[in-house]
Amino acid sequence: MRWFQGKPGLRARLFPGVFPLTARGALRDVMAGINLASMNAPQVLGYTRIAGAPVVTGLYTVLLPLVLFAIFGASRHLVVAADSATAAIFSTALAPMATMGSPKYMALVGMLTLQTAVLLLAARLFRLGFLADFLSRTTLVGFLTGVGVQVSVAMAPDMLGLKVDTRRTLGQLQELAAGLGHVQPLELGLAAVAVGAILAGRWLIPRFPVPLLVVAGLIAASAWFDFAGHGVAVIGVVPGGLPSLVWPDVSWSETLALLPVAGSCVVMILAQSAATSRVYAVRYGERSDINADILGLAAANAGAAITGAFVVNGSPTQTAMADSNGARSQVAQLTFAAVVAIILLFLTGPLQYLPHAVLAGIVFTIAVNMIDIRGLRAIYAESPGECGLAVLTAVAVPCIGVEQGILLAIALSLIRHVRHSYRPHVSVLAPGASGRWEPARARAGMQTAPGLIVCRFGADLFYANADSFADTARALVAGAPAPVRDLVIDASATTNIDFSAAQVVRALIADLQQQGVQIVLGRVSNGLRADLERHGVAAALGANRIFSTLHEALDAVGVDYHQGMAQRQPDAAPASPAV
């Protein structure tokens, strides 16, 4: 034991989320964990309304999962708990398979959570943390906004004291509109008090546990005034004690049917958790290890599955709360788990008086906070096109479903990337007002100097954009005001070329050579040079036509670069430096 205590470096390697830790830091994190529990315990109860699970399972998500992530994860800041996005994904998919909250439904949820853990473990073993990058920040903002809209609408019936039969957002809106004449004033009033107090507290005193005070006050009022006797729906008896270990009992066919849903949850977990942990690692100058965090997330979901809870995720909102309360290590999250254990052992009795309208109001405030209008406006200010993709994703989630929405978000992210690679920026160095060569967007009729065009293609060359590259090169040569003798290509943005693109480039070289135009490549990396040699492009160009710098390429075609002024020497013979 003394040996272990004497090796702080070993402790930090084994438990990077906790160590290094000082006594003062531990006390600070313990206090932060107590504050975090006071604010977030009511919220995890609210997430069960989205998940369709018994209310006590919300507390289970912040018990063993928190402990396991603290042990196996790497992030010192990430709070792993129930999350509205993943809850919306699986509840939408499982609702047709079993009645929400029933033993069968919870067995399906348990197996789904276990599958999520296994898929995350596979992602860790194969180091697939990079997959998180395929869901762009733009579409992630749109996706979470769409989930916020969907959850807000889903909570409205409980807040109004109405009953709806559909899980589809558009159908819920129709049923709500038809039932407005039957709104229950008492339940609406309770929801309004909860929502108003929480939103006001979030604005005025963000570090004060307003949700806890709201829940405690309305539970006391419900018990004292017998809200249930006056027709207000309450959550009923909540089983106390620590969760039992369970194994989900589902058939093989049901297990296979759950796999696509688990895959959707994994994508959401990877994207959201990676983004959150990276933000705080950068903020505090720490090393971010996404693959180690994936292992922690796998362990956390395995713990959730065997304790009767549901899928857990790295929560941006709860992580932000922990940070604002001064948490700087997973000691805060371990303290949170300890407080929850005390609640489960001694304080579940009063929860039976909590009105559904209040719980729905808590979730409504969470959902409203997910609707990121400020983020959408910031995207629009910089890139209206990307904002359009985010808005499309946000609309798709409530209209066609959460699972389909996340698939659309991934597809849009990839399409955006491919679109930029398919039509990259092409620029030509041309004389500017000062007489210096300046890059300008390529168009027919431009030239760098009489007989010379220097252009830059802003992407790798592959089968989809090779023809565009060749067409642009031909258009520049054909439209030049003076016959072109040399086409110098700045290849700094091109790191590789594939087989199909190489065929197109060889055809371009032959075509231009017949017209008396020689192609010279500058700023060619070693990797690109190897591709050019392997695909026969270097041989097609001829000797001394590939250079590692642009200066060498310009020297090869007789250009004098002097004091920033590039002058073409029309009578100069091309130089022949070594390749």
Shared domain for 227 and 294, answered yes or no, is yes
Regarding whether 229 and 111 lie in a shared domain, the answer is yes
Asked if residue 362 and residue 437 are part of one domain, the reply reads no
**What one-character-per-residue DSSP string does 499-529 give?**
HHHHHHHHHHHHHHHHTT-EEEEES--HHHH
Task: Tell me the Ramachandran region of residue 558: left when phi exceeds 0, alpha when psi lies from -120 to 50, beta otherwise.
Answer: left
In contact, 218 and 354? CB cutoff 8 Å: yes
Whole-number Å distance between alpha carbons of 287 and 298:
20
* The pLDDT value given to residue 316: 73
Predicted confidence (pLDDT) at residue 567 exceeds the cutoff of 60: no
Confidence of residue 88 (pLDDT cuts 50, 70, 90): confident
**Could you read off the pLDDT of 279-335 as tens digits, one per residue?**
677 677 777 778 888 999 999 999 999 999 999 998 876 787 777 677 778 888 899
Q: Are residues 454 and 334 in the same domain?
A: no
The predicted structure's pLDDT at residue 189: 93
Residue 4 in domain: no
Q: Which of 417, 438, 457 is the last residue of a domain?
A: 417
426-431, strands of its sheet edge to edge: 437-441, 426-431, 452-457, 486-490, 518-522
- Among 354, 384, 417, residue at a domain's last position: 417
Choose the weakest-confidence range: 292-306, 522-536, 551-565.
551-565
What range does the domain containing 558 cover? 423-568
Residues 411, 448 share a domain: no
pLDDT in tens, 159-197: 998 888 787 888 889 999 888 888 899 999 999 999 999
Residue 4 pLDDT: 40
Contacts of 556 (CB under 8 A, 6+ apart): 520, 544, 545, 547, 574, 575, 576, 577
Domain assignment present for residue 374? The answer is yes
- The predicted-structure confidence for 456-467, as pLDDT tens digits, reads as follows 988 889 888 899
Higher pLDDT, 418 or 346: 346
**What's the CA gap between 467 and 476, in Å, rounded?**
14
Residues 466 and 319 in one domain: no
Above 70 in pLDDT, residue 468?
Answer: yes
Residue 189 per-residue DSSP state: H
Can you tell me the distance from the alpha carbon of 433 to that of 562, in angstroms, rounded to the nearest whole number?
A: 18
Residue 66 lies in a domain: yes
First to last CA, the chain: 63
Q: Does residue 480 register a pLDDT over 70?
A: yes
* pTM for the predicted model, two decimal places: 0.69
CA–CA dist 210, 39 (Å, integer) = 7
Residue 146 or residue 533, greater confidence: 533
Which residue has 């491919």 as its token pair? Answer: 418
Length of the chain in terms of residues written:
579
Beta carbons of 146 and 396 less than 8 angstroms apart: yes
Q: Judge whether 469 lies within some domain.
A: yes
pLDDT score for 213: 86
Domain containing residue 527: CATH number? 3.30.750.24
Measure the CA angle with vertex 369, ends 304 and 262; round to 5°: 30
Coil, helix or strand at residue 2: helix
Mean pLDDT (whole number) for 446-469 = 89
Mean pLDDT over 414-440 rounds to 79
Q: Looking at the domain assignment, is residue 12 inside a domain? A: no
Place of tokens 């989930």: 147
Q: What is the mean pLDDT of residues 363-391?
A: 85
Q: How many helices (H) and strands (E) does the chain have?
A: 24, 9
Q: Do residues 404 and 505 share a domain?
A: no
Q: Which of 81-85, 242-246, 280-284 has the highest mean pLDDT?
A: 242-246
What are the residues whose beta carbons fall under 8 Å from the beta carbon of 78, sequence distance 6 or more?
Answer: 69, 273, 276, 277, 280, 293, 314, 319
Does residue 557 fall inside a structural domain?
yes
Judgement on whether residues 180 and 35 belong to the same structural domain of the protein = yes
pLDDT at 539: 92
Distance of CA 452 to the CA centre of its chain: 46
Whether 405 and 542 share a structural domain: no
Greatest mean pLDDT range, 287-291, 409-413, 445-449: 445-449
Domain membership of residue 20 (yes or no) is no
More confident residue, 135 or 58: 58
Residue 7 has pLDDT above 60, yes or no: no
* Burial category of 513 from C-beta neighbours within 10 Å (exposed 0-12, middle 13-18, buried 19 and up): middle
Residue recorded with tokens 């473990």: 121
Greater confidence (202 vs 53) lies with: 53
Whether residues 405 and 447 fall in one domain: no
How does DSSP classify residue 574?
Answer: P
Instruction: Assess whether 135 and 86 both reside in one domain.
Output: yes
**What is the rounded average pLDDT for all residues in the chain?**
84
CA 82 – CA 59 distance, rounded (Å): 9
* C-alpha distances in Å from residue 471, one per residue of 256, 484, 507: 49, 16, 11
Same domain assignment for residues 413 and 427 = no
- SS3 of residue 546 by DSSP: strand
| 17 within a domain of the structure (yes/no) | no
Number of domains within the chain: 2
Q: Nearest CA to 113 among 253, 273, 304, 270?
A: 304
Residue-wise DSSP of 407-475: HHHHHHHHHHHHHHHHS--EEEEEE-TTSSEEEEE--TT--SBTTEEEEEE-S-B-TTTHHHHHHHHHH
> Which of 371, 394, 417 is a domain's end point?
417
